[in-house]
Chain A
Amino acid sequence: MDELRLMLSDPLMQRALIAALLVGAAAPVVGTYLVQRRLSLLGDGIGHIALTGVALGWLVGAAMGLRPHDVLTIPGAVLTAVIGSVLIEVVRRRGRTSGDLALALMFYGGIAGGVLIIGIAGGTSGNLMAYLFGSISTVSSTDLILTAVLSAIILGIGLGLRTALFAVSHDEEFAIASGLPVWLLNMAVAVVAALTVTVAMRVVGLLLVSALMIVPVAVAQQLTHSFSRTMGLASIVGVTVCVVGLSITYWHNVSPGATIVVLAIGVYLLAAAARPLLHRRAASAAHDPHPDIPDDVRVPAAATKKPTGKPTGKPTGKTAESSRCPS
């Protein structure tokens, strides 16, 4: 208890905890849209390209003779990530295959560009480590303000426009027919995803950024059936693993980013294990999801007798069991 108070009175830890809280809440909100559009890996692509932005920021900072060489790394990452994700979105609109390819190019180009440019800037790839794996324990007040502002933007767009963003993510064609500004909304998702990556970069590092966006959503999906609840629960999971994971590193000398992600995956495994249990209870009492639908296929009386032995497992046969919706 005293140790907890000690931790909370440490200004360094205070800043880190607030940053973790903000990022933990914001990242899964954006992740929900990415999972909805089956773009779970987009965050990774942006994360890689952001590394080039970090190095570019470093290069410009060094060239301008700014004192800490890394003052421009975060703005560089933000700018590059936004440009990169907008590019991905533009390419995605032109055809799926090339979008996939663009993502791959981004993965490799981002890392290679980052390492190359940081060398030119007079740094070493070692300087990039803090960005690749996170450095939440060194969050400054300025960092914290930037994190807070960006998180506010992310949450503002992600929650404020959630019905519209849901509509384009769910059924783009219907959204177009409804006259929604689909292009703008898609861009909003891309930009917000880029901002999320750069904000979460401090907490878990660019290589693990996507995990913080996606894994809490995967957890929530196991437990709910509604879009908004998935988003809310994912956000709660995100905050929990970020704060708990960070706190663990106060006592144990382990990487905060890795701890947070491992924790999130642990929660996912727990949720996945708990799901069938939750389910069995819901599905017991021979719950028929469609009691109002009459039998649509007439079956000879003999065939309706329940097979008593092991399941026949005929893959094509539409038995009464298999015609129920999977739930």
Chain B
Amino acid sequence: MTSSNVVIDARDVHVRLGSSHVLRGVDLRVERGEVVALLGANGSGKSTLVRTLVGALPAASGSIQVPPPARMGYVPQRVSAAGGIPSTAQEVVASGLLRPGRLRLPRGWRDQVHDALGLVGLADRCHDATNHLSGGQQQRVLIARALVREPEVLVLDEPVAGVDHPSQEQFAATMTRLVAQGLTVLVVLHELGELAPLVTRAVVLRHGRVVHDGAPPSARNGHAAADHEHVHPHAATTTPEHGDESGFAGFEDSTAALTDHPEA
């Protein structure tokens, strides 16, 4: 059943992290041109699955077929302004140009980097230090780093978690354009949000197993409703892997703290 249109084909994938059995026999197939959303609660194994697909984690068993690294773009969950040395958006995006057999920047890399930053609306921020950018902008830099590879398949891990609304809209617009050009997308999401119109299929994980594979489900609690804004631009520079739910509560709290200004 492996047709040439299947770009990601994972079968019966098991992943163990330490003593926990995180993925328990996951099947995932993505065909060319699809936009597949990977949904599920925190700890359900979404991130583990994509990290396994891109080779960052070893699978205990099962088979995984993905395109070679040169044809894939990966956007990891935003690391806080990691590393001890500040780096510019240009430097970070340029590192996306490397691939097997190419450990040095190719000729004309500056233009490529500039174009990729342009795709995410940050062309004028080339020389800004990434730790001076907002959380949403930092996330867009990471997306540009994946796009500069001109990938056929883009794998994104919670690209809009803790991202301000303008960046989310910008992101959705960029994705719409790229998908129209034939990009295949596998995206881990908490809620469909701005991407809802693009998503062609949703795969829902629960406790390391696929519990739904088909039409995108409607979100609970109106999380994805248009008037429900998840905007905590600077709050989430270190989004804890399993702490998102409490993160929302924290956001409500900080709003309360703001309106409850002592001087008011």
Which residues from chain A sit less than 8 Å from chain B, CB to CB? Answer: 32, 35-38, 40, 160-161, 163-164, 166-167, 169-171, 173-181, 185, 217, 221, 224-228, 230, 289-290, 292-294, 296-297, 299-300, 302-303, 305, 307, 309, 312, 314, 316-319, 323, 325, 327
Contacts and interface: CB of A to CB of B under 8 A. Distances in A.
A318 B254 contact: yes
B261 A317 contact: yes
B84 A173 contact: no
B234 interface: yes
Contacts of B132: 225, 289, 325, 327
Contacts of B108: none
Contacts of B233: 293, 296, 323
A178 B258 CA distance: 42
A21 to B, nearest CB: 24
B55 interface: yes
Contact of A228 (B91, B137, B259): B91
A169 B98 contact: no
Contact of B104 (A160, A290, A305): A160
A177 B85 contact: no
16 contacts: A36-B84, A38-B83, A163-B103, A170-B92, A178-B69, A178-B99, A179-B100, A224-B86, A289-B132, A290-B134, A290-B137, A293-B136, A297-B255, A312-B261, A325-B132, A327-B132
A122 B148 CA distance: 61
Nearest to B69: A179
B165 A221 contact: no
A316 B262 contact: no
Interface stretch (B37-45, B72-80, B172-180): B72-80
A163 B105 contact: yes
B235 interface: yes
Contact of B76 (A169, A173, A227): A173
A166 B95 contact: yes
Given A167-B98, A180-B100, A318-B258, A35 B84 contact: yes
Contacts of B263: 303, 305, 307, 309, 312
A300 B105 contact: no
Given A36-B84, A289-B133, 4 more contacts: A164-B104, A167-B95, A221-B85, A325-B134
A197 to B, nearest CB: 19
Interface of A is mostly: loop
Given A32-B85, A176-B55, A180-B100, A163 B95 contact: yes
A295 to B, nearest CB: 10
A208 to B, nearest CB: 20
A318 B235 contact: yes
A312 B98 CA distance: 48
B84 A227 contact: no
Nearest to B232: A296
A178 B259 contact: no
A257 to B, nearest CB: 25
A232 to B, nearest CB: 12
B86 A180 contact: no
Nearest to B138: A325
Nearest to A317: B257
Max count, chain A CB within 10 A of own CB: residue among B85, B91, B253:
B85
Interface in B29-87: 51, 54-56, 68-70, 72, 74, 76, 79, 82-87
A163 B104 contact: yes
Q: Determine which residue in B76, B165, B258 has the highest number of CB atoms from chain A within 10 A of its CB, and name it.
A: B258
A230 B127 CA distance: 14
Contacts of A174: 74, 76, 95-96, 145
A176 B55 CA distance: 7
Contact of A177 (B56, B105, B232): B56
B83 A169 contact: yes
Contact of B129 (A163, A164, A225, A302): A225
Contacts of B72: 177
A252 B87 CA distance: 40
Contacts of B166: 292-294
Contacts of A173: 51, 54, 56, 74, 76
A313 to B, nearest CB: 10
B82 A171 contact: yes
B131 interface: yes
Contacts of B55: 176-177, 179
Contacts of A35: 84-85
Minimum-distance CB pairs A-B, first 8: A179-B69, A225-B129, A177-B54, A177-B74, A167-B95, A303-B261, A227-B87, A164-B103
A293 B164 CA distance: 9
Contacts of B69: 177-179
